Structure 1
Amino acid sequence: MTAPTDGRLLITGAHLLHPEQGELTDTSWLEVADGRIAAIGTGRAPAAGDGVRVLDVAGATVLPGLIDAHVHILITSLDPVERASHTPGYATVRALKEAGRMLRRGFTTVRDVGGADHGMARALAEGLMPGPRLVHGGKALSQTGGHGDMRPLSDDSTPCCGHEPGFSRIADGVDAVRTAARDEFRKGARHLKMLLSGGVASPHDEVSAVQYSDEEVRAAVTEADNHNSYVTVHAYHPRGVNRALRAGVRCVEHGNLLDDETIQLLLDNDAFLVPTLITYEKLAEAGRQHGLGEASFRKIDDVREAGLGALEKAHKAGVNLVYGSDLLGPMHSHQLDEFTLRAQVQPNADLIRSATTTAARLLRMEGQIGTLAAGAHADLLVVDGNPLEDISVLTKPRECLEHVIKGGTVL
């Protein structure tokens, strides 16, 4: 990565894409100082002073860096036997390498919802390895026998709190949930995730299963509120999703099987929904060859068929929709293909907002990321083309992505 000598950068000859309005400006300029957007304007750019790097993008589009609000950078393999042999150090190196690839796809911020820790976020923040800004939630909370309990049926051992590298920890009962929540926040978590239904990657539970009691969920919500944070939940079926929203959770991951009550609860609570359509497509295509068990494939079909319809219903109702990919192992390379799937039912401007301004609101970083407003982090993409007219401008980085800029530094 190369940076201007005093942290100053002037981008000229640009069309600025403002997600808030869903509009592209006439020829404009953007000035960066000390990693932040200092000023923007149209027409002729101001004179560049000494030590200012000038980047003439010659009519390309400049937009905020993308935000993926559902990643698992630690899950770099789908094979449970292989993952069991990963030491914490090895798992971390693999995770940070994948984070670097995410940055090169145009994601300047990612929210990890199970597995990443403070050390990984710090390494990326300090530039020890290239990668996006990492907003992590530590380990997700799972009940015994829930989506995060990956023990085989033959294992009678008592589950531990999860010091090994992994995406979840077991916590049963109100007191244990409180303790686990407090411990994850102690370790720097920016949000708390609870697993409230079965999942496609967990072999022994159904996606319609209800996991955790109302009292346990409310305990987690209280702890998150006490830490000025929030709870997001993994859930597919209204049996789990609607209970969670009534208990005060702020965000729902997946939600493929939502119903009319779900939509109303999301709207009434100004809550967020993070669909993750691309992961089911890729698991259905190649999950077997990457080690996913046969028990998962019936569940994949169930949620895959319902996902696009649920997204369309939520979009038409005006739900806060946020971009998420949830890809695992070698499938991370398809992270941008979520745009292609969603474009079947959402206008491009709304899609871009889901990965910029709306995602920033979910992360409680509005005005800091996902925008070209003065004072925001200078996390920017320079692309050849207009993604408001053609979303493939974002999905083909090898062809269309000219520059990734994170905190004013040009990649």
Structure 2
Amino acid sequence: MSPRTVLANAHYLDVVGGVWRTADLEVVDGRFTRVAPHGASGAPAGSGDGARATDGDETRATDGDAEIIDLAGRYVLPGLIDCHVHVYAMTANLGELETIAPPYAALQATRLMGDMLERGFTTVRDVGGGDHGLASAQAEGLFRGPRLFFGGKSLSQTGGHGDTRGPGQQVSTAVPCCAGLGTIADGPDAVRRAARDQLRTGAHHLKIMAGGGVASPTDRVDSIQYSIAEMRAAVEEAADANRYVAAHAYTPGAIQRAISAGVRSIEHANLLDRASAEAIRDAGAFVTMNLVTYWALKEFGASMGLPAASQAKVDAVLSAGENALRIADEEGLDLCFGSDLLGGMQEHQSKEFEIRARHQDPLAVIRSATLTAARLLEREGELGVIQEGAVADLVVLDRDPLQDITALSEPDPVLVVQDGRTVRVGADR
């Protein structure tokens, strides 16, 4: 896009008010500088009072120093945010990542991130593995991909979810290596030291393993990991650096301990119950569920490198996840969109919209990937909204996603705009 661009006749979703509005959106230096309404319809989002269908390309023209792009007949959303990705996870065998040469891993990560951008995800949060190098390279325009909020290496206890050693393997993984997603730290002092080291790299948050997981070879899904003292050490270090802690946790016990330690973001929560949901809500914490990853692991995990020990764990969290989503929605939790896919399964990232829409209103699902996600990232008013002063990230669709969720779950965006620049034009357009 040119330095000043006007997206004319943009029929956009006001995710705060939950209504469709039509306006001319002026963009300068990557931000919305003016939103000139045509007269908001005030119609509830998804009511059918929408854009007119068109069969032509977007009309581009110039007016003085401005480029004009006519979006009449399209549906415009804020750029999407995925709050749980692993950009280095080129395989479902996480232990294998620690043996891969960093340059190769970096190139694979740029490919995966470019694919995410193509689907309309202009921002992602990496909760294990993502680093300063990738975030800086993306910000400097060295490759196409979503802006990256990274947490560095996840912190795990010995034998925890971040320990990739098999039961007969003795070589320590305490020192983070290569494209591996985690590092081991036992005891409050070691956790504090590891937390400081990740914060030193510029991490936007810290990630701890508060319980067992599917992709780890030796722990039980129903285990609780890290003592309250260890968790608090990470939380204190993050707070002192004006950052926060996210915790991998499935069970009520792991969730309750993490919340009591001051964790701000619960990842997964597949075995959530009412009591743990209330604890999350009372603490003002967030939940990022990732239901699509368990569907994908069941369907494709074995063929994409998921070890047999991990395959056996999938059923334990697959069926429970959708019930947990219903509880979280009923309890009014701050739900964020996440995918958590590994290897080639990352191509199914957008299917999370379809799975969630079975149990939630489509507007709530979209808010989880825009408005609420931006609050989790501490970028409220800057990301996930279309308003003056916000970053000019947009996804332009040819169908109303509130009437037909496949517009998002099977994405083929007309346009993707990031920082005010067109970064994707749909096929045959």
User: What TM-score results when the alignment is normalised by the length of structure 1?
Assistant: 0.95
In 1, the alpha carbon distance for the partners of 2:157 and 2:312 equals 23
Match in the other structure for 2:11: 15
- 2:179 is aligned, of 154, 165, 168, to 165
Match in the other structure for 1:223: 237
- Identity of matched residues, %: 48
- 2:139 is aligned, of 125, 141, 150, to 125
Matches within 5 A, 1:224-239: 224-239=238-253
Instruction: Tell me, yes or no, if structure 1 residue 189 matches structure 2 residue 184.
Output: no
Residue 177 of structure 1, CA deviation:
0.4
Q: CA 1:84 to 1:113, structure 2 compared with 1: closer, same or farther past 3 Å? A: closer
Stretches (4+) displaced over 4 A:
none
In 1, the alpha carbon distance for the partners of 2:307 and 2:259 equals 31
Q: Give 2:420's aligned amino acid.
A: G
Cα pair 1:10 1:48 within 8 Å, conserved: no
Q: Which moved more, 1:79-88 or 1:284-293?
A: 79-88
Instruction: Tell me, yes or no, if structure 1 residue 40 matches structure 2 residue 30.
Output: no
Q: Deviations over 1:156-211 (max 9, x none)?
A: 23333213221100111100000000110000100000011111111211111111
Q: CA 1:150 to 1:82, structure 2 compared with 1: closer, same or farther past 3 Å? A: closer
Match in the other structure for 1:134: 148
Instruction: Tell me, yes or no, if structure 1 residue 409 matches structure 2 residue 421.
Output: yes
In 1, the alpha carbon distance for the partners of 2:95 and 2:238 equals 34
In 1, the alpha carbon distance for the partners of 2:153 and 2:94 equals 18
Cα pair 1:9 1:54 within 8 Å, conserved: yes
In 2, the alpha carbon distance for the partners of 1:80 and 1:16 equals 40
Instruction: Tell me, yes or no, if structure 1 residue 317 matches structure 2 residue 296.
Output: no
In 1, the alpha carbon distance for the partners of 2:13 and 2:178 equals 43
Instruction: Tell me, yes or no, if structure 1 residue 31 matches structure 2 residue 43.
Output: no
Match in the other structure for 1:270: 284
Partner SS, residue 253 of structure 1? strand
Residue 81 of structure 1, CA deviation:
7.3
Q: Deviations over 1:51-93 (max 9, x none)?
A: 2111111221111000000000101112457535420111011
Q: Give 2:111's aligned amino acid.
A: K
Matches within 5 A, 1:235-250: 235-250=249-264
Partner SS, residue 414 of structure 2? strand
Matches within 5 A, 1:52-201: 52-79=66-93, 83-201=97-215
Cα pair 1:70 1:113 within 8 Å, conserved: yes
Cα pair 1:73 1:99 within 8 Å, conserved: yes
Partner SS, residue 53 of structure 1? strand
Q: Give 1:409's aligned amino acid.
A: R
Residue 49 of structure 1, CA deviation:
4.4
In 1, the alpha carbon distance for the partners of 2:397 and 2:311 equals 37
Gaps of 5+ in 2: 40-60, 424-429
Cα pair 2:91 2:97 within 8 Å, conserved: yes
Partner SS, residue 330 of structure 1? helix
Partner SS, residue 267 of structure 2? strand
Gaps of 5+ in 1: none
Q: Give 1:387's aligned amino acid.
A: P
In 1, the alpha carbon distance for the partners of 2:225 and 2:208 equals 9
Instruction: Tell me, yes or no, if structure 1 residue 396 matches structure 2 residue 375.
Output: no
Q: Deviations over 1:387-409 (max 9, x none)?
A: 122211112223xx100000000
Match in the other structure for 1:365: 379
Q: Deviations over 1:318-341 (max 9, x none)?
A: 000000000000000000000000
CA RMSD of aligned residues (A): 1.4
Partner SS, residue 313 of structure 2? helix
Match in the other structure for 1:256: 270
Q: CA 1:324 to 1:52, structure 2 compared with 1: closer, same or farther past 3 Å? A: same
Residue 228 of structure 1, CA deviation:
0.4
Q: Give 1:43's aligned amino acid.
A: H
Partner SS, residue 322 of structure 1? strand
Match in the other structure for 1:214: 228
Cα pair 1:65 1:380 within 8 Å, conserved: yes
In 2, the alpha carbon distance for the partners of 1:249 and 1:203 equals 25
Cα pair 1:254 1:276 within 8 Å, conserved: yes
Q: Which moved more, 1:153-162 or 1:311-320?
A: 153-162
Q: CA 1:276 to 1:43, structure 2 compared with 1: closer, same or farther past 3 Å? A: same
Q: Give 2:246's aligned amino acid.
A: T
In 1, the alpha carbon distance for the partners of 2:336 and 2:10 equals 27
Partner SS, residue 206 of structure 1? coil
Cα pair 1:161 1:171 within 8 Å, conserved: no
Cα pair 1:15 1:24 within 8 Å, conserved: yes
Residue 386 of structure 1, CA deviation:
1.4
Cα pair 2:153 2:182 within 8 Å, conserved: yes
Q: Give 1:37's aligned amino acid.
A: F
Instruction: Tell me, yes or no, if structure 1 residue 282 matches structure 2 residue 296.
Output: yes
In 2, the alpha carbon distance for the partners of 1:137 and 1:79 equals 20
Q: Deviations over 1:252-287 (max 9, x none)?
A: 000010112111111111110111000000000011
